[in-house]
Amino acid sequence: MAKSNGKSEAQRAGLDIEHELPAGDGDEASSGSGGSPVAGEYSASEAELQKIKAERDSLLDRLARAQAEFENARRRASKEQQDFRDYATADAIRAVLPVIDSFERALQVKSDTGEFRSGVELIYKQLQDVLAKLGVRPIPAKGEPFDPHYHEAIEIVETSEAPDHVVLEELQRGYKFKDRLLRPAMVKVAKNSGK
């Protein structure tokens, strides 16, 4: 019976011995003198909360710095791309300038002889060489089968002298830059009804 009395006394004191937790309706006397463990837990919880807040602030600061670094890197990359485009354009223009100079010299010559024509032909070849170095190629047209990817049909001519869908005449030359179409060739295309 002493055990049962001891157990009921512990229950009367508001303690749950199995779980070692104070009962929901404990007396205030136990919280007064035995309150130091609860205050210690509160202090530990408060310290843990402060530690978590400091860690959060540190992470937010790192996030803000990372975002700023990302934005700066994006701006630098954008500026480098623009500088590259400007440099490439300047390079292309620089390559064409001697051709313009040659045209100006040819136009200053006042001669009706064949020398003028040969000078202009030389300038034309020089310009074609510059374009070839830059990766610009003319699109073959005359005598070729019509290709809507590279040719633009301006006129269709009924004829029996050429096969159907063959380019008869090139009205304006088309060009490709590497594998990209710059301008399609404007052409006249044969239509052979007899074939």
What is the pLDDT averaged over residues 35-54?
76
Return the structure tokens found at 122: 């030389």
User: Same domain, yes or no, for 127 and 31?
Assistant: yes
User: Same domain, yes or no, for 182 and 147?
Assistant: yes
User: Same domain, yes or no, for 129 and 41?
Assistant: yes
**CA distance linking residue 135 with residue 180, whole number of Å:** 10
Q: Are 160 and 124 in contact (CB under 8 A)?
A: no
User: Same domain, yes or no, for 182 and 123?
Assistant: no
Within the chain, how many helices (H) and strands (E) appear? 4, 8
Query: Domain boundary residue among 134, 150, 173?
Result: 134
CATH number at residue 70: 3.90.20
Q: Are 170 and 142 in contact (CB under 8 A)?
A: yes
Residue 35 pLDDT grade (very low, low, confident, very high; cuts 50, 70, 90): very low
Q: How many CB atoms are located within 10 Å of the residue 31 CB?
A: 13
**CA distance linking residue 22 with residue 38, whole number of Å:** 11
- One-letter amino acid identity for 93? I
User: Same domain, yes or no, for 125 and 183?
Assistant: no
CATH number at residue 169: 2.30.22.10
User: Same domain, yes or no, for 50 and 82?
Assistant: yes
Give pTM, 2 decimals. 0.48
**CA distance linking residue 17 with residue 66, whole number of Å:** 53
Classify residue 146 by its DSSP letter. P
What is the pLDDT averaged over residues 70-93?
87
pLDDT at residue 17 in the model? 52
Residue 30 pLDDT grade (very low, low, confident, very high; cuts 50, 70, 90): very low
Return the structure tokens found at 170: 């090139």
Lowest mean pLDDT among 1-5, 47-51, 72-76: 1-5
Percent of the chain with pLDDT over 70: 75
Tens of pLDDT along 132-190?
A: 888 888 899 999 999 999 999 999 999 888 899 999 999 998 888 877 888 899 999 99
pLDDT at residue 19 in the model? 52
- Residue 86 in this model has a pLDDT that exceeds 80: no
**CA distance linking residue 124 with residue 74, whole number of Å:** 43
Quick check: is 20 in a domain?
no
Mean pLDDT of the chain: 79
- Whose tokens are 């005449």? That residue is 169
Into how many domains does the chain fold? 2
For residue 34, what are the domain limits? 27-134
